[in-house]
Amino acid sequence: MRWIDHAIWWHVYPLGFCGAPIRDHDATPAPRLRRLLNWLDYAVELGASGLLLGPVFASQAHGYDVVDPFRIDPRLGRQQDFDDLVAQCRARGLRVVLDGVFSHIGDQHPAVLRALHEGPGSEADMFDIDWAADGGPRPRVFEGHSSLVRLNHASPRTADHAVAVMNHWLDRGIDGWRLDAAYSVPVDFWGRVLPEVRGRHGDAWFLGEVIHGDYSAFVTSSGVDSVTQYELWKAIWSAIADRNLFELNWALVRHNEFLARFVPNTFVGNHDVTRIASLVGPDHAVLAAAILLTVGGVPSVYSGDEQGFTGIKEERVGGDDAVRPAFPDTPAELADWGRDVMRAHQDLIGLRRRHPWLVTARTESLTLTNTRYSYRSSAAHGGEWIDVHIDLDDHPQVRIDDAAGVTLWSSPG
């Protein structure tokens, strides 16, 4: 098995987690990234095997408007602060994956400003600019966001840039990349870039952010290892909230089809969506975690979900703040009310670690109604299985049994 087959990610959005100012243009540089050092033992105690980190590179505001992908954001610190983080992760056996933005860049990127000032030229072909626009050259932007300039993915210079960035940080000790908005980039771009990087870092893992569409076709055409399994994310919370477990069963049938071709990244929360505890309630959030950790995939737990954090994503300026909060300096400062949720996550992750075959497990329905569902997760090549029993009637409950009929874990209810 590759190292990724044992991976369970603790997903962190560093700018928020470390309390960096997001929209303050006069933000004071500070080694805020070092706050994460105090949380590495916590990640190990949770049962995670690595950190899936959001943006850490110099940017204008939220991290996805990068202005220098070779430099740590001054609001988080300096290169040494990042190097120390990677070293401390290594000392604990934790892998590190970074968030790479190769779809677009910040509109204040020096090269963009030079291109607009100097006109078409060798450097300018990296950017998607309408040179004939009324009123002068105008960059085409990413999904209507005026601060995000689209890259020109047909340019060899853009591909060379992506290869250089990826190799730079892989050389410094990271283990892979989450490719932000990978769905918005032509697949042939990834087909040119990723083989170049793999030629130097053959063990690196590449996760493409893909929300809709044909996941399997994207993996095959792009060459990524995995994509974000938003179909399953939606089905888990929606089936629980709507008391319609048929939706979950349908998604797991689809999930089996994906697993036959690649291993998706599974999750019930991330930095872009409303917290699972806000979607389904704190008790049902544990139920969602039980589903996440008993089906195939490379799972990630969004920091705070394991404590029952709440937060609603809103479509407005600052609408992400509630799901990207600052964390205390140390885990000892967490409120007591999250302990039971944390304990449940530890138990479920422990169960998954004792059954490593779950990474490629297939599921089959045993019994199904709107509010009760039993499914069997079996090793892809047979021999081992567990049964998961979900009951949404009266009090939410989950029970997990093994082949001998022994109850491995059950939620309070």
**Distance, C-alpha 82 to centroid of its chain:** 19
How many other C-beta atoms are found inside a 10 Å radius of the C-beta of residue 192?
A: 18
Q: Which amino acid makes up residue 201?
A: H
CA 364 to CA 296: how far, in whole Å?
Answer: 12
**What are the distances in angstroms from CA 387 to CA 88, 133, 291, 366, 400?**
38, 60, 11, 9, 6
Is the distance from CB of 240 to CB of 284 less than 8 angstroms? yes
Is the distance from CB of 172 to CB of 83 less than 8 angstroms? yes
**What are the distances in angstroms from CA 342 to CA 111, 278, 309, 321, 334?**
45, 16, 11, 23, 11
According to DSSP, residue 36 is labeled G
Q: What is the pLDDT along the chain (413 residues), one digit of tens a residue?
A: 699 999 999 999 999 999 999 987 667 899 999 999 999 999 999 999 999 999 999 999 999 999 999 999 999 999 999 999 999 999 999 999 999 999 999 999 999 999 999 999 878 999 999 998 998 899 999 999 999 999 999 999 999 999 999 999 999 999 999 999 999 999 999 999 999 999 999 999 999 999 999 999 999 999 999 999 999 999 999 999 999 999 999 999 999 999 999 999 999 999 999 999 999 998 899 999 999 999 999 999 999 999 999 999 999 988 999 999 999 999 999 999 999 999 999 999 999 999 999 999 999 999 999 999 999 999 998 889 999 999 999 888 999 999 888 999 999 76
- Domains annotated for the chain, with CATH where assigned, are 3-360 (3.20.20.80)
In SS3 terms, 132-169 reads as: CCCCCCEECEECCEEEEEEECCCCHHHHHHHHHHHHHH
Per the structure block, which two tokens stand in for 65? 């408007």
CA 258 to CA 264: how far, in whole Å?
Answer: 7
**Residue 237 three-state SS:** helix
According to DSSP, residue 289 is labeled H
Answer yes or no: pTM beyond 0.75.
yes
